Amino acid sequence: MGATKTDHFTAKQNAIATLIKSLGHPARVAIIEYLLKVDTCICGDIVNELPLAQPTVSQHLKELKNAGLIKGNIDGNAICYCIDEKAIEKLQSYFAGISSKLAKQKNNCC
Amino acid sequence: MGATKTDHFTAKQNAIATLIKSLGHPARVAIIEYLLKVDTCICGDIVNELPLAQPTVSQHLKELKNAGLIKGNIDGNAICYCIDEKAIEKLQSYFAGISSKLAKQKNNCC
DNA sequence: AATATTTATCGTAATATTACAATATAAAAT
DNA sequence: ATTTTATATTGTAATATTACGATAAATATT
C-alpha cells in the first residue's frame, strides 16, 4: 500500500490535511518564513537562500503553489513569489477553532 | 535520496515542520476532530470510528503521540486519549504570527 | 485457568517523498 | 545571434509513509 485512503474521509478532512501537509517539511517552512521576512514579494532569490539544490527548491515551490500557499507571477526572467493570505487564514482559523473548542471542554480525564 | 535534510534547517523550523506534518494526513485530522467532537477523553473507541484497520489506526495514534498532539493514559484494558492543548496552541500561535506579519506587509507585487 | 477484549508490534507490499544531476525552456544581456 | 541568468522538467536513487495480516502482550471477564 502506501497510498492514503482519501476516499474514506470527508472532503474537508482531505482538503485541510493536504494544506497542512504542504507545510510539513522544514524546507517549505523556511520558504514561507523567508517570504515573510523579506516583507515583500521575492523575484529570483529563493534558491540562493536555501541549502538545497535548485531542482529541489523548484520542487518544493511547486508543492507550495499546488497547495495554494504561495502565488507565483512571472516577472521577466524571474518569478515573483509571495504568500497567499487566504491559505494562511484557513490554517489559522482551523487551529483557532480547535483551540476554542478545546477551551470549552470539560476535561474529564488526562 | 528521500531523507529530509533536517541538519540544514534551524531547530525551530524542524520542530514546527514535524508538528505540522503529524496533522498532514486525513486519518490524523479525523482522529483529532473526533477527540474534539466527543468533548471528552476517549477510552477505546477510536478504532471503530475510523475506516482503517486496527494496526493502521494504532500507527497513526502513535505518530500523533510522538508529535505531542495527543496524550494517552492507560485505563485498565483500554487507553484513554485526548488532545494536548499545548501542541494546538503552538500551531495556532505559529499561524497567527504568520497572519499578523502578513497583515503588516506592504504587498508590493502579486 | 481459559477466553475475550483492547492495543501494540512485526513484517512487508505498495506507493509517495525527497534530493539532485542532467537537461530543457525562456527571457535578458551582451 | 550568442551567451548568460533564472526556473522548470525529466529521470532516478534513496528513503519514508501508508496500510494491513499475523501475532504478541496485557488486562478483563467468565
Mean pLDDT across the stretch A5-15?
94
pLDDT digits (tens, 9 = 90+) for A67-93: 999 998 888 888 889 999 999 999 999
C-alpha cell at A86: 487566504
- Residue in the block written with cell 515542520: B17
Q: Which residues contact A106 (CB under 8 A, 6 or more apart)?
A: B39, B40
Q: Is A32 on the interface with B (CB under 8 A)?
A: yes
The C-alpha angle with vertex B1 and arms to A57 and A36, in degrees rounded to 5, equals 25
Q: Is B105 on the interface with A (CB under 8 A)?
A: yes
Predicted pLDDT of residue B44: 80
Whole-number Å distance, CA B77 to C1' C2?
18
- Which of the nucleotides in strand D have any atom less than 7 Å away from a protein CB atom? 5-11, 13-22, 26-28
At residue B96, what is the residue type? Answer: A
* More confidently predicted of B45 and B84: B84
Q: Give the model's confidence band at A63: pLDDT under 50 very low, under 70 low, under 90 confident, else very high.
A: very high
A82 vs B107: CA distance, rounded Å: 9
The fold of the A11-94 domain, in CATH, is: Arc Repressor Mutant, subunit A (1.10.10)
CA-based diameter of chain B, in Å? Answer: 60
Q: Which residues contact B105 (CB under 8 A, 6 or more apart)?
A: A39, A40
- Name the residue facing A21 among B13, B14, B21 (closest C-beta): B21
- Name the residue facing A24 among B24, B75, B95 (closest C-beta): B24
Predicted pLDDT of residue B108: 57
Q: Which residues contact A62 (CB under 8 A, 6 or more apart)?
A: none
pLDDT digits (tens, 9 = 90+) for A42-56: 778 899 999 999 999
For B10-92, the fitting CATH number among 3.60.15.10, 1.10.10.10, 3.30.830.10, 3.30.1300.10 is 1.10.10.10
SS3 A26: helix
Please report, for residues A49, A92, B13, B49, the alpha-carbon distance to residue B64 in angstroms, rounded to integers and kept in the order given. Answer: 31, 20, 18, 16
Domain boundaries, chain A: 11-94
Contact criterion met (CB below 8 Å) for B108 and A40? yes
At residue A97, what is the residue type? Answer: G
C-alpha cell at A34: 523567508
Mapping DSSP onto H, E and C, the string for A44-94 reads: CCHHHHCCCCHHHHHHHHHHHHHHCCEEEEEECCEEEEEECHHHHHHHHHH
Predicted pLDDT of residue A109: 60
Predicted pLDDT of residue A65: 96
Mean pLDDT across the stretch A25-36?
96
pLDDT digits (tens, 9 = 90+) for B60-99: 999 999 999 999 888 888 888 999 999 999 999 999 999 9
Predicted pLDDT of residue A107: 60
| Closest by Cα among B42, B104, B98, B4 to A32 | B98
